[in-house]
C-alpha cells in the first residue's frame, strides 16, 4: 500500500536573502574554521562573483585560499587532487561558490581530505553510502545558478573516468553544513545559463514529484517548486530580475530537499550517462530528454500529470486526467521551445551508434523512475530525442 512506510529528513539549514553572503565570515568562524578555502570556477573568480564572499571572510579576519580547479561534469581524479591540496595547505573548511559541479567537487574534497583513499571509494551502492572514519570538512554551499539542489543533498556526482560513467558519491550523514542563497550573486548570470540550470531545476522537481519513492512531504515540496519555476523561469531568463532569480533559487532548493529523499527518474538516469560519455551540459541534456521521458512515463502517473497541469495554472478544471496530462506535456514542449533548448541530442554531439552503449550504462544504475523500463525502452527514448 502506498505511503505505508516512509522517512523524511532534511538537515541542511538554509539562509535566503539579498546580501546574505555577507554573513559567511561569522558562519565560518562559528564552525571553528580558521583557514578555509573558497572553491569556485575560474569564470566566477574572474567576474568577481566571489567578491562578496571574500569580503565577508576578510571582515572577520579569516585567512583563506581560493581554489579554481573546477570543471563541468567533475572528474574523480580532480576531486582527489583537490583533497591532496586541502591536506597540503591545511584547509579546515570549504565555502563552495558556484553551480552543481562546484558544490559536488567541494563535497568530494570535504570527504577525501579527512578520510583515506579516492572519492571513488565513497560510491553509493544499493542506496547506501559508506560510513566515514573522520568528519568531513565543514562545507558552506553558496549556489550561483538556479539549478542544482546540491546545496541541500547528501550526494555528489562525479565522473569515474576509468569506468567511463558518472557515479553518485557521498557518505552516511554527510550534507553541506549550511546553504546560503543570495540572489545578488546571480546578477551576472547569463540568460542561457539561467535557462539551462532552470530547466535542470524544473526537471528535478518534476522527476521528484512523480518518483517511485515520493511521499507526501516530498510531493508538497516538489509541487511548489514546479509552480514557482513555471511562473518565474521566463522572467528570469528575459532580463536581470533579482526577484524572479531569488524565487528560482528557492524553488531549486525546495526541489533539492524533495529529490534528496524521493530520488529522481529516467531523465537524470539517461542524462548522467550521456554527459559522462560526451561531456554535455547537465541542464541542457535534461531539457532535451525531459519531453520524451515524460511521454514514456505518462501512463504510470496520469493523475500526477493532471495535478502538475493544474498547479502551473493551465485551465484544466473541466478536463479528464488524461486530457489534463496531455496539456501538461504540451506546456513542457512550449517551455523548452521558448527557452531555445536544442532540438535533439544530435545537436549536443551525441552519435546514434552510441545509443546501445548509453542504454547499457543506464540499465546498470538504480532508478526510482515511476515506470519500469527495459534497455529497449531506453534506446527508444534516446532515438526519439534525436
Ligand atoms: Fe539535475
As a whole-number percent, the residues of the chain with pLDDT over 70 amount to: 99
Distance of CA 151 from the midpoint of ligand 1 (Å):
12
> For 112-126, what is each residue's pLDDT tens digit?
999 989 999 999 988
pLDDT at 172: 87
Distance of CA 257 from the midpoint of ligand 1 (Å):
13
> For 295-319, what is each residue's pLDDT tens digit?
999 999 999 999 999 999 999 999 9
Distance of CA 195 from the midpoint of ligand 1 (Å):
13
Distance of CA 225 from the midpoint of ligand 1 (Å):
14
pLDDT at 143: 98
Question: Cα angle vertex 37, ends 135, 128, to 5°?
Answer: 35
> Residue 205: which of 359, 385, 332, 317 has the closest Cα?
332
Distance of CA 55 from the midpoint of ligand 1 (Å):
31
Upper half-sphere CA count for residue 63 (Cβ side, 13 Å): 5
Q: Do 314 and 324 form a contact (C-beta atoms < 8 A)? A: yes
Greatest pairwise CA separation for the chain in angstroms = 65
Distance of CA 318 from the midpoint of ligand 1 (Å):
34
- pLDDT above 60 for 1: no
pLDDT at 367: 82
Distance of CA 33 from the midpoint of ligand 1 (Å):
30
Sheet holding 139-143, edge to edge: 14-16, 178-181, 139-143, 94-98, 37-39, 65-67
Distance of CA 283 from the midpoint of ligand 1 (Å):
7
- pLDDT above 90 for 4: no
Q: How far is CA 173 from CA 107, 109, 129, 304, 311, in A?
A: 13, 16, 9, 31, 34
Q: Radius of gyration of the chain from Cα atoms?
A: 20
At residue 177, φ and ψ (nearest 5 deg) are -65, -40
**CATH code 1.20.1090.10 region(s) in the chain:** 191-384
Distance of CA 147 from the midpoint of ligand 1 (Å):
7
Q: Are strands 178-181 and 165-169 parallel, antiparallel or unpaired?
A: unpaired
Q: Is 94 helix (H, G, I), strand (E, B) or coil?
A: strand
Distance of CA 157 from the midpoint of ligand 1 (Å):
10
Q: CB burial class (10 A; 0-12, 13-18, 19+) of residue 372? A: exposed
Question: Cα angle vertex 261, ends 21, 112, to 5°?
Answer: 60
Alpha helices in the chain (DSSP H): 24-30, 42-46, 51-59, 76-89, 100-114, 191-210, 216-238, 242-262, 266-278, 282-297, 302-311, 321-338, 355-364, 375-384
CATH of domain 14-186: 3.40.50.1970
* pLDDT interval class at 47 (50, 70, 90): very high
Distance of CA 30 from the midpoint of ligand 1 (Å):
31
For the whole model, what pTM was predicted?
A: 0.95
Mean pLDDT over all residues of the chain? 96
> For 157-180, what is each residue's pLDDT tens digit?
999 999 888 899 999 889 999 999
Identify the CATH homologous superfamily for domain 191-384. Answer: Dehydroquinate synthase-like - alpha domain (1.20.1090.10)
Measured N-to-C along each axis, helices 191-210 and 242-262 cross at an angle, to the nearest 10 degrees, of 30
> For 375-386, what is each residue's pLDDT tens digit?
999 999 999 999
* pLDDT interval class at 2 (50, 70, 90): low
Distance of CA 26 from the midpoint of ligand 1 (Å):
31
CA distance 260 to 225: 14
**CATH code 3.40.50.1970 region(s) in the chain:** 14-186
> For 52-90, what is each residue's pLDDT tens digit?
999 999 999 999 999 999 999 899 999 999 999 999 999
Measured N-to-C along each axis, helices 321-338 and 191-210 cross at an angle, to the nearest 10 degrees, of 160
Amino acid at each position: 500500500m502506498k505511503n505505508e512506510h516512509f522517512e523524511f529528513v532534511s538537515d541542511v539549514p538554509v539562509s535566503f536573502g539579498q546580501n546574505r553572503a555577507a554573513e559567511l565570515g561569522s558562519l565560518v568562524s562559528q564552525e571553528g574554521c580558521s583557514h578555509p578555502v573558497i572553491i569556485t570556477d575560474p569564470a566566477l573568480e574572474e567576474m568577481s562573483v566571489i567578491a562578496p564572499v571574500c569580503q565577508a571572510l576578510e571582515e572577520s579576519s579569516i585567512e583563506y585560499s581560493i581554489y579554481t580547479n573546477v570543471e563541468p561534469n567533475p572528474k574523480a581524479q580532480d576531486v582527489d587532487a583537490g583533497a591532496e591540496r586541502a591536506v597540503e595547505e591545511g584547509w579546515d573548511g570549504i565555502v563552495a561558490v558556484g553551480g552543481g559541479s562546484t558544490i559536488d567537487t567541494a563535497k568530494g574534497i570535504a570527504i577525501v581530505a579527512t578520510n583515506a583513499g579516492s572519492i571513488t571509494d565513497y560510491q553509493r551502492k544499493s542506496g547506501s553510502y559508506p560510513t566515514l572514519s573522520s568528519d568531513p570538512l565543514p562545507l558552506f554551499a553558496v549556489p550561483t545558478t538556479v539549478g542544482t539542489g546540491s546545496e541541500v543533498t547528501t550526494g555528489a556526482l562525479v565522473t569515474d573516468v576509468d569506468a567511463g560513467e558518472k557515479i553518485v558519491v557521498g557518505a552516511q550523514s554527510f550534507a553541506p553544513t549550511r546553504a546560503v542563497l543570495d540572489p545578488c550573486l546571480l546578477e551576472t548570470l547569463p540568460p542561457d545559463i539561467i535557462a539551462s540550470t532552470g530547466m535542470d531545476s524544473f526537471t528535478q522537481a518534476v522527476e521528484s514529484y512523480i518518483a517511485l519513492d515520493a511521499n507526501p512531504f516530498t510531493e508538497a515540496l516538489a509541487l511548489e517548486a514546479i509552480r514557482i519555476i513555471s511562473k518565474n523561469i521566463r522572467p528570469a531568463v528575459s532580463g536581470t530580475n533579482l526577484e524572479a532569480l531569488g524565487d528560482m533559487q528557492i524553488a531549486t532548493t525546495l526541489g533539492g530537499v524533495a529529490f534528496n529523499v524521493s530520488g529522481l527518474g529516467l531523465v537524470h538516469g539517461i542524462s548522467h550517462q550521456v554527459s559522462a560519455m560526451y561531456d554535455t551540459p547537465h541542464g541542457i541534456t535534461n531539457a532535451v530528454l525531459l519531453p520524451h521521458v515524460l511521454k514514456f512515463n505518462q501512463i504510470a502517473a496520469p493523475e500526477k500529470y493532471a495535478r502538475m497541469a493544474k498547479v502551473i495554472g493551465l485551465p484544466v478544471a473541466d478536463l479528464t486526467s488524461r486530457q489534463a496530462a496531455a496539456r501538461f506535456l504540451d506546456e513542457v514542449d512550449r517551455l523548452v521551445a521558448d527557452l531555445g533548448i536544442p532540438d535533439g541530442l544530435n545537436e549536443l554531439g551525441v552519435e546514434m551508434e552510441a545509443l546501445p552503449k548509453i542504454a547499457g550504462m543506464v540499465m546498470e544504475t538504480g532508478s526510482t523512475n515511476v515506470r519500469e523500463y527495459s534497455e529497449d525502452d531506453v534506446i527508444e527514448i534516446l532515438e526519439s530525442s534525436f
